[in-house]
Homo-oligomer: A and B are copies of this chain.
């Protein structure tokens, strides 16, 4: 299916299931509201699920979209572009942070080359779906054509559908791409209408000199975009976005259409969520914000969509690390709803 057809199929989650969850929370053996945010998570999860009570998710998959960014030629970061390719190899060899965390949490790691500049075709286990070998420099020209952006969204959409067909019941989004906090901040500040300065962060930890260049690059991109009079979300994505962001947006659309929960990671995934939200506001019903990144754009994006992060751990790594860490919390929230005894069944007195 083309992702554009799927957009029309995405509806709101089930209010009836949400209400059933809340009614059930009230009779479980605990003071009302005592599980705090876990009760909200269980309610949202119930609304996503086609059945009530929902099933505890048992097959999480972290899907890491990797790509490169032409804006690197502006000098926005001290990290060389080849690190993207090297880190993709690291993911596949199991040496990255996401591998350790996914192993702990019991999640599978899937790596998609959707636009890495280097050659990854010989990497064992990679999903080779390269749309182009990195974007163009968004500070000066459109990052990609609209056709390329749509192709990248379709890649993410197809990858997500394949993973769901394989039994994945909760999808976690990860990213790798040197320079990708720049298009993320560009997209978030554009769509959420927030100041570039307040939305742009230090990414890997860049210094003041690089920050000045980074903010200037985003402002040029915005002013170019204004001149282009781009209007549709896909045109904006093509002009100032990134290939991994497009792929992630496609994943969110597929998961929402199939009522499978998606867990966001940091600011790159948050930017993708904003893009998918522009395409269908209902996606917000299917999205959990795994954590709040240190990147200021993360807060802007989550506030814009209306999502509250599960974890506040000051992470700024990406790769899906924060998404993955939130999974046991989400699983526990659903499990309490499903498995706890009621005041009646356990013969516990009420206040």
Contact = CB atoms under 8 A, between A and B. Distances in A.
Interface of A: 28-38, 56, 77-80, 82-83, 86-87, 89-90, 93, 95-97, 99-101, 103-105, 203-205, 294, 310-317, 321, 324-325, 328-329, 331-332, 335-336, 338-341, 345-351
Contacts of A29: 87, 90, 95-97
A205 B34 contact: yes
A346 B89 contact: yes
A62 B205 CA distance: 38
Contacts of A78: 351
Contacts of A99: 339-340
B97 A336 contact: yes
Nearest to A210: B351
Nearest to A342: B95
A338 B38 CA distance: 30
Contacts of A347: 86, 89
Contact of A341 (B93, B315, B339): B93
Contacts of A312: 312
A232 B96 CA distance: 50
Contacts of A28: 97
Given A96-B341, A205-B32, A79 B351 contact: yes
Nearest to A37: B313
Contact of A95 (B37, B101, B341, B349): B341
Contacts of A77: 351
A350 B77 CA distance: 11
A86 B346 contact: yes
B325 A101 contact: no
A58 to B, nearest CB: 10
A93 B346 contact: yes
A97 B36 contact: no
A332 B83 contact: no
A83 B205 contact: no
A351 B204 contact: yes
A302 to B, nearest CB: 15
Nearest to A77: B351
Nearest to A205: B31
A233 to B, nearest CB: 30
Closest 8 CB pairs of A and B: A95-B341, A36-B314, A31-B204, A78-B351, A34-B317, A328-B328, A86-B348, A100-B335
Given A28-B97, A104-B328, A311-B329, 19 more contacts: A29-B87, A30-B317, A33-B316, A34-B97, A34-B204, A36-B294, A36-B314, A36-B315, A80-B351, A86-B346, A87-B348, A89-B346, A89-B347, A90-B341, A96-B340, A100-B338, A100-B340, A101-B332, A103-B335
A310 B97 CA distance: 18
A257 to B, nearest CB: 28
Contacts of A56: 104
Contact of A335 (B36, B104, B351): B104
A99 B205 CA distance: 41
A157 B171 CA distance: 43
B37 A97 contact: no
